[in-house]
Every structure is written in structure tokens, then in C-alpha cells.
Structure 1
Amino acid sequence: MDEHDPTDQAAAEEQAERAREIALTMDLCLRIGEMLLSSGAGAADVTATMRSVADHLGLRSAEIDVTFTALSMSHQRSTEDVPTLMVRHVQQRDIDYEDLTAVDHLVRDVLTDQADLYLARSRMATIVSMGHALPRWAVTVASAVMAAAVGVFLGGGPVVSAVAAVAAVLIDRVQLALARRRFPFFYLQVAGGAIATLLAAGVAATPIDVDPSLVVTANIIMLLAGIGLMGAVQDALTGFYLTSSARLIEVMMATAGIIAGVALGISVVDAIGFELGQLVPGKLGVSDLPAVLLGAAVSAAAFSVASYAPRRAVLPIAAITAVAAGISQAVAVAGFGRPASAGAAAFFIGLVAYAVAGRVRVPPLVVAVPAIVPFLPGLSIYRGLTFLADGGFFVSQGILALMTAISVAIALASGVILGEYVAQPLKREARRLESRLAGPRLVGPFRAMTRAERRALKRLSND
């Protein structure tokens, strides 16, 4: 006679299968969160996306905690059961909007019942393991195009754009070599700033007529483009202060690396008796406006290509940036300062990013971040460093210029997020489902489908 009751054995097998599904669901949510967080998404977006997936797959009592370096998720089926806890450390990587878009589509398919748990896990593994459609050298070319276009946006001529492009190629290859040897990002930024300054000074020492300050400024903007200040500001606004602090420190260290590199280059140039000159921006005439708009559009499009954004989003990003550059110039002509003009442009970008991103089927973050690239405060950073290098009376002006750079950076990030607040009001269903969400969504689903909507979708697919 069998000592084991078949009913008890079946219940034990069912309980084991349920525990296995819980573990697989938590692992999927953590992998999704890791991909979003490492790509620059805000902690509020990551938390809300993970909660949406977990709720939809049956883990309605899961607890989620997001920090800058780790994700944790716990679930307890009942007070009598031992809780399950899983932790995943975030591996910081380069900006990758191709994978970010793929994960965003995967989340939407899960929430619309077009992908179950096992299919979602398979697709997630494919996303992580697959390479990019673009070869690595194409990123170097895109970086060169971006630096050249920023030179045009700043009012430089063909020679400035050409030298800035060459400097961008050198910076990208040197940074890639240092990254492969596991140098911290700070030293990569130091190398980039020093290369830009020394190359600009070397070209200016030849008979070639070039403004070295514009070359350095264009490459400073290129180096600033990969810094995730928007995520830091979004985390601060949405209550994730620990993650925001960590991201702000990362931003400060990366920017300090640029400042150190440029300052090193200026010191070397001064030691050999050469004058780089201070960049004093003048008023742009109406005849310069087409070049400014074109430079802004091309630089944003090139940065999106360098970040592996889907091709269908490149032209819309360029168009949005051109309009934003026009708004920025109009605000500046009206007599407002640099932070106000940058903030106005960023507000417009945030206002339209949600609608445009929906049209081209990418997260709004993919549209917003490249579009603010031309407005990054490379000009103020360079002016501040040159004033500080002069010493004496100019020190106060240098400090003021660096403070202006900080103000512009904050205006850009907060302007984009404010635009999202206006353009993307939260629905009541999203508030109920995503209780911890306290701000606009730049990544992830905006609300979960109701059961009636899912049934209607199934009927349409069956027909």
C-alpha cells in the first residue's frame, strides 16, 4: 500500500510549480528593471514598470526597491509562508536605446497578453545576448558628425567643424581603448577634455585659420551628452532621493573629469606660451539662423544614432530639436538669459516627446535626451575655465560662468520633465496600479489594460 496520499502529492507538486513561477516572474521583473535603470530611466519609471509586470503576472503583493546599484524584489504568498527575496546588481553600461526600446515593447506585450511569462523570458534573454545592427565604427562616425554639427550650431565655420570632428574621432577611440582596460569613467572624461584642448591648440598654431575655443566647446558638449543628469533630476522630483544623490555624484564626477581634462590642456598650452582665447558669444543675425537650426538638428540626430536609437526615430528627433533651437534663439533675442532660453527649449521638447515617441513606437526618453544635446552648457564651462586660468580679476567671472553652466544643466533636465508633466497626465487606473509613481513616465507603460480591453483585444486577434 502506498504510504503517500496522491492528493497530498499533487498539492505539493502544484505548490512547487507555483513557487517556481513566482521565482521566474521575479527574475523577469528584475532583469527588466536592470535594463531600464542602466539605460538611464528614472527610478520611478523602473519601479512602476516592474510593479506593472509583477501585478499582471499574478504577484500583486510584491515589494520592490530600486537604488542606483541594486534592485530587490520580495514576495510572500501568505503570512505562514517564507518570503522569497531576490536581488540583482545593476551593471552600468553605455547608453543603448535599441535595447531600451526592445524592453519597452516587451513590457507592453506582456501587459496586453501577447507574451506570457516563458515567452517574455525568452525574448528578454535574446535582447540581452544580441549585438547591435550598427558596427562600432559607425558610432565613431556619428560622434564625429555630432561634434561637427555642434560647431555649426555655435557659429563656427567649416574648419571648426572639421577639426571638431577629428577631435571627436580621437576622443572616441581613446576612450574606447581606456574603457576596455577598465579605467574609471572619470579618467575617460579627463582624456577627452585634454585631447580636445591640445588638438585645438595644435591646429591653431598652424597657418590654418580656426577658432580653437569653438573646437573645445563643441567637444565638451559631445562629452557632456552621455551624462544622465535628467534621470538624477527626475529621481529627485519623484522622491527617490538616494538614487538621485548617487546619480548626481556620478554626473559631478563625469563633469569634473571634463573640467580637469580641459584645465590640463589649457595649462599645457599656457606653459608653451600659446593663447587659446576666451569664447565670447555674439548676437546671431537672421542670416545665421538656418545654420544654427541645421546644426542643432544634425547634432541631435547624430547622437541618437551613436546611442543606437531606432532609425525611425532619427528624423523626428532632428525636427523637434530644430524647432526647440528656434525657440531658444527667440527667447535669447527677447533678452532672457542662457538658463531661461535652454529651459524654454527643454520644456518644448518634453511637451512633444510623449506624442512623437508614441508615433514612432519608442520610449519618450529616446526622443528627449538626444534633443537636448545641442543646448548642453559646453560654452559656459569653457568660458569659466579660461577665466579661472587667467586668474586675478577674472576668477569671479569664471565662477559665475561655471554657476551658469550648472543652472543651464538643471534648466534642461527640469524643463523636459515639466513638459512631460503637462503633456502626460496620469490616468486614474495608472495611479491605482502604480501607487509609488509620483512623476511623469519617460519609460514603460502609462497604464495597464483593463480586463474588458484585454478581452476585446483577444476577440480582435481571433477574428
Structure 2
Amino acid sequence: MTTDDSDPKDAYPTLDLALRVGELLLSSGAGAADVTAQMQNVCIACGLRGVTTGVTFTELQLTYQESPDRPALIQFRDVRQREIDYEDLTRVDLLVRALIAGSVDRDEARSRLAQIVSSGHDRRRSIVTLGWGAMGFGVGLLLNGTPVVVAAAVVGAIGIDVLQRWLTRMRLPFFYQQVTGGLFATLLATLVVGADLSSRPSQIVAAGIIMLLAGVSFMGAVQDALTGFPLTAAARCMEATLATAGAIAGVSGGLTIATAFGVEVVNLTPGAAPYGSPGEMALGGAITASAFAFASYAPVRALLPSAVIGAVSTTAFMVSHRAGLGVSWPSAIAAVIVGLISFTIASRVRVPTLVFVVAGVVPLLPGLSIYRGLAHLSAEAPGGLIELVNAGVILLALAAGVIFGEYVAQPVRREGRRLERKLSGPRLVGPLTVRSVRRRRKKAV
């Protein structure tokens, strides 16, 4: 459906549709470049050209001026952060592609978008909680945990999810939810150690921390920084830092409480590699990645590819780590591979690349490094600050590695070399441009 240029009021529905699409993308972790491109694509597909886009971390703006002698039409939309929902993200991505391809018009797209936002999920929330438990199981395998450690990791992941849901209903800010999660994971480890069931509290805490680390926000922050949106990148980085700081504060508080009760939970085993065999690592990575995707409401068709990407990323990490490259460089190498594979698989499975990217790096998040740094500081031992800095370097390496993998993979696509010079950056959500999609459709006819 094209917009009637003689009636400026007809532009409002198009602007509103584009803003609602951008709101869902931004709240689900998409980068500002992706959000800008897809809002522009929606406007162009509906026949509205010359629209100016403004994207910040909490607000979207679209401005349209038909001619210099007429007033500009401006619409804003606040972005309310909410739970990551890859099912809605995938549905909106497919809707935008259908609108660009011309198979739906603007009014039908508005109706479908309203249904997507207002409808619930077929996947029950209790099943999603079990999905987080499965993720804890996978992380326990990644850390070469004993059966007791793996069981505690499952209980910890389920408990953290239940607690955070309850705190969300109580409208407690997200920072305090993170503090509660870190505290719960540490107190659970304290109980296990106090009952003489395990001597590896670090693995129990690390399994819980990985669930709390802000991998999605770090991905968006790095992408925004690389694609020319420094203000949005800074805001995302602040959110991610605050979320991680909350988890760190919770763990620190738990260690203090454990020390006050005379329970020693600072078994760091410095220098000892916590990783298991390559087979265990691959299995743990596959379970962790697919369980995270499942718990984030990713479509069922995305679970097996997520498992494959998780297994490949952890295997690549182990190979590089055992080659003597340390931890940061193997994390970056594995992240580049995740970006390469995710970009290739996403178009075939019809799921946004962002889903596979985040699921693929979750097994590599540095929960153990953060725990060790806090435990060192709590015990007044040297090296605590170094461990925390190392964890930050790993997070940056993962995010930058994934984006670099996207840059490398992008020109490999069949139409990539023709469009490469026109693109501002890799797309983790949505098609490249309206013209490229319609050009392919015309050639097919």
C-alpha cells in the first residue's frame, strides 16, 4: 500500500507502524543500526520516502516533511525495556520481510503487529523455567562439575528465574533483581559446602552468574559503537555494566554472609583449568545454547541450530585454549566463528541472526572469572581486580568477535558484494534493503 502524498495525515499510520516495529526490535536487543534500517524499510515499503530517523536507548523518532513549504510530521515512541522475547522478534522480522516483499499491505501489517504484541505464548512459563534449569545443567557440564555441582546448578538456575519473576511482579528495579540472583547462587553454594556435599563452590556460583550476565546488552553496545551510534552504545554499556554489577554485588554479599557463618566458599584452585574434556565441553555448550534459546522463547526450529553453534563455539574455544592462547583470544576466535555461522544459518531457518549470536556466546560468558575475582577480593588475596578486568576483556572480546564475524560473512552472501559499499554495518535483524529484496523478486518473476 502506498501513501497518498496529497494527504499528509495518511503518513501517520506508516510512521506509527515503523515506530512500533522499531520499539520491539530495540527492546529485544537489536542494534541501533538494525532498528534504523528496518524503520526506514517499513516506511519505504509503504511508499513514504525521505523519512528521518532518530534512535536513542529509550526513545525513537521519525520525521517526515513532504515539501519545504509544509510543516514536518514528527512522531515519537518511548521504548520500555522488557523481557527478551525471540518469538515476537522472529514474528516481527518475518512480518517486515513480507511487507517489503509486497505480500502484505500496510493495514494488514498493522493488524498483524498488534496481534503479535498482544498475544501470549504457547510455551508455558513453567516450561520456560525448566529451560533455565536445563541451561544450568549445561553450564555445570561446561565447568566439569560433579553430579552434585550439576544438580546444584540446575536448582540455582530455576531458583534465580523464580525469584526474578516474583521480583518483577513486585516492580523491583532490575539491578536489585540481579543482586538477589547473585546472592541466591552464592548462598546455595554455601549450603552445599556447609553440608559437605561438594568442595567446588566456585562452579555452583559461576553457573548462576552466567545466567545473570548481560550478554545481549554487550552485543548491542558493541554493534552500536561500530556502526556509528556512540550515545546509544554508551547507554547500552551502562545498562550492561549495571546489570553485571548487580550480580557481582549479590555474589560479594553472599561471600560475606558465608564468611560470617564460618563457611569457607573461596576454593579457587588457582591455575587449575576448570574445563572438562572436549566431548563434555561440546555437549555442555550445545545444551547451554539451545536451553537459553528455548528459555528466551526462540522458535522450535531454532533450537537444533543453536545447539550446533554452541557446540562449535565451545569446541573452538577449547582448541584455542589448549594451544596456549589463554582465555581472551580463544573467546574472540570462538565469537568470530559464531558470527560467521549464525549469519549463514539464520536466513535458511528464517530466524534473526541475533537469536543464534546470543545463544552461541552464552556458553563462553566469564562467570568463573567474575567469581574468582570477587572471592579473591573477599579473602583479601592478590589478583582479584585482575580477574575482574580479565572478565571484562572476555566480554568485550565476545561482543567484538561476533560483530567482526558478521562483517566477514556479509560479503560472502550471493548479493553481498554488490551491496557491501552501500551498507553501514552487518544486519543482525531484518533484511538488508528494500530495493535488494524487490530486485530479487523481480528477477525471480
- Which TM-score band (shorter chain)? over 0.9
Q: Which letter does structure 1 place at the counterpart of 2:33?
A: A
Q: Which residue of 2 aligns with 1:419?
A: 405
Structure 1, residues 408-449: CA drift from partner, whole Å, max 9, x if none? 0000000000000000135545755xxxx5211101112324
Structure 1 residues 24-103: aligned runs within 5 Å = 24-103=13-92
Amino acid corresponding to residue 319 of structure 1 in structure 2: V
- Consecutive unaligned residues of structure 2, counting only runs of 5 or more, are none
The answer as to 2:225 corresponding to 1:274 is: no
Residue-pair matches, total:
436
Matched residues, percent identical? Answer: 48
Alignment equivalent of 2:230, drawn from 207, 218, 241 = 241
**Matched residues in 2 for 1:410 and 1:238: separation?**
16
* CA pair 15-301 structure 1, distance change in 2 beyond 3 A: closer
Distance 2:257 2:425 in 1: 46
Q: Secondary structure at the match of 1:228?
A: helix
Distance 2:238 2:216 in 1: 11
Encode CA deviations 1:225-262: one digit per residue, 9 max, x unaligned. 56421000110111101100100100111000001000
CA distance in 2 between counterparts of 1:427 and 1:109 reads: 24
TM-superposed CA distance for 1:56, in Å, is: 2.2
**Residues 261, 330 of structure 1: CA spacing in aligned structure 2 closer, same or farther, 3 A cutoff?**
same
1:147 deviation in Å? Answer: 1.0
Match of 1:7 in 2: none
Provide, for residues 340-362 of structure 1, a one-character-per-residue CA deviation record: whole Å limited to 9, x for no partner: 11111101000111111111110
2:175 is the counterpart of 1:189: no
CA contact (8 A) 1:347 1:418 kept: yes
SS in 2 for 1:335: helix
Q: Secondary structure at the match of 1:110?
A: helix
SS of the residue corresponding to residue 186 of structure 1 reads: helix
CA contact (8 A) 2:222 2:399 kept: yes
Equivalent residue, structure 1, for 2:118: 129
Matched, 1:443 2:429: yes
Corresponding residue for 1:151?
Answer: 140
Moved more, 219-228 or 422-431: 422-431
Amino acid at match of 1:66: V
Give distance in 2, aligned partners of 1:372 and 1:74: 37
Structure 2 residue 346 is matched with structure 1 residue 357: yes
Kindly indicate whether the alpha-carbon contact (under 8 Å) linking 2:5 and 2:66 is maintained by their aligned counterparts in 1.
no
Structure 1 SS opposite 2:434: coil
Check whether the contact 2:29–2:216 (CA below 8 A) recurs between aligned residues: no
Matches of 2:116 and 2:127, distance apart in 1:
20
Counterpart residue number, 1:319:
308
Q: Is the 8 A contact 1:148 1:160 kept in 2?
A: no
Residues 44, 434 of structure 2: 8 Å contact kept:
no
Compute the RMSD of aligned alpha carbons: 1.7
1:456–1:239 distance in 2 versus 1, CA, 3 Å:
closer
Instruction: Report the 3-state secondary structure (helix = DSSP H, G, I; strand = E; otherwise coil) of the residue aligned with 2:277.
Output: helix
Kept after mapping to 1: 8 A contact 2:216/2:358: no
- What's the CA shift for 1:125? 0.6
Q: Do the aligned residues in 2 keep the contact of 1:225 with 1:373 (CA within 8 Å)?
A: no
8 Å CA contact retained: 1:217, 1:379? yes
8 Å contact kept, 1:279–1:379: no
Contact 1:159 1:210 in 2 (8 A): no
Question: How far apart, CA to CA, are the structure 2 residues paired with 1:194 and 1:452?
Answer: 55
Deviation at 1:164, TM superposition (A): 1.1
Query: TM-score, normalization: structure 1?
Result: 0.91
